[in-house]
Amino acid sequence: MSHHNTRPSSPLTILLAFISALSITTAHASDKKHESEQGMKIVQQQLSLMKPELQQKIKALSPEIKQFVAHVAAKHSRKSDTATLAQVMQEVMADYQSMAMAIAMDNGEAAAEAAHRLADHRLPRGGLLPYMPLEMVTTQHLSVLPAMEEAVEGGSMRLAEAAKKGDMIEAAEHLGAVTRGCVACHQHFRGQPGTSTLLRK
């Protein structure tokens, strides 16, 4: 895309690369390195399924967003060769409803299981990005993704912990945070589903 992104040698780019290299030499360095290599491999496979216009948009993304996409790819153990994002979202909806049911029924075990399934939801064919409007596949629009992931998947894991301890009040609060993540992502990337172009405004 712009010259800016394709020129690897600007002082700022070198500094950022240096800083991110430093940050992965801390704590779980080898784990993280392994995860990002795994993730990059999966992203390469996903890219090979995409049409050139989407590949171009993805190549132009910032290194941080690319790393995040690789992190998501490595983190999810279930990947589908056929499922669309809409199908995966329906599975997510079912797990979300199971969590809410189990919290309301004081069933911590069932709430925790559903929360783990939700956090490790299936990844659709080609990953998330092919199902986004093409004009939203930019660093700016995608920069909200880590916050959405933290709300939905981080929130589900915290919900599972609280439910396992039998603290259903705390679990219910995490359910609220998860819900905010769903709603925010839909407002940002989707809007009202199923609108008709055959109705007057």
Q: Binders of ligand HEC among 17-56, rule CB under 6 A? A: none
Q: How far is the CB of 199 from ligand HEC (least distance, A)?
A: 19
Our CB check for ligand HEC shows the closer of 23 and 97 to be 97
15-21 long-range contacts, CB within 8 A, separation 24+: 16/63, 17/63, 20/63, 20/67
Closest C-alpha among 157, 153, 151, 139 to residue 187: 151
The CA distances from residue 8 to 4, 5, 47, 64, in Å, are 8, 7, 21, 14
Binds ligand HEC (CB under 6 A): choice among 71, 96, 112, 137? 96
CA-CA-CA-CA torsion for 82, 54, 37, 67, nearest 10 degrees?
Answer: -120
CA 182 to CA 107: how far, in whole Å?
23
Tokens 């790819």 correspond to 73
Per-residue x/- marks for ligand HEC, 102-131, CB under 6 A? -----------------------------x
Binds ligand HEC (CB under 6 A): choice among 49, 93, 105, 134? 93
Q: How far is the CB of 147 from ligand HEC (least distance, A)?
A: 10
The CA distances from residue 137 to 41, 122, 145, in Å, are 20, 21, 11
Closest C-alpha among 43, 126, 131 to residue 86: 131
Binds ligand HEC (CB under 6 A): choice among 78, 90, 106, 150? 90
Q: Binders of ligand HEC among 146-185, rule CB under 6 A? A: 148, 152, 178, 181-182, 185
Q: How far is the CB of 155 from ligand HEC (least distance, A)?
A: 9
Q: Contact at 8 Å (CB) between 148 and 183?
A: no
Residue 68 binds to ligand HEC (criterion: CB under 6 A): no
Residue 85 binds to ligand HEC (criterion: CB under 6 A): yes
Binds ligand HEC (CB under 6 A): choice among 70, 74, 92, 142? 92
Residues at the site binding ligand HEC, with contacts judged by CB under 6 A: 85-86, 89-90, 92-93, 96, 131, 148, 152, 178, 181-182, 185-186, 189-190, 193
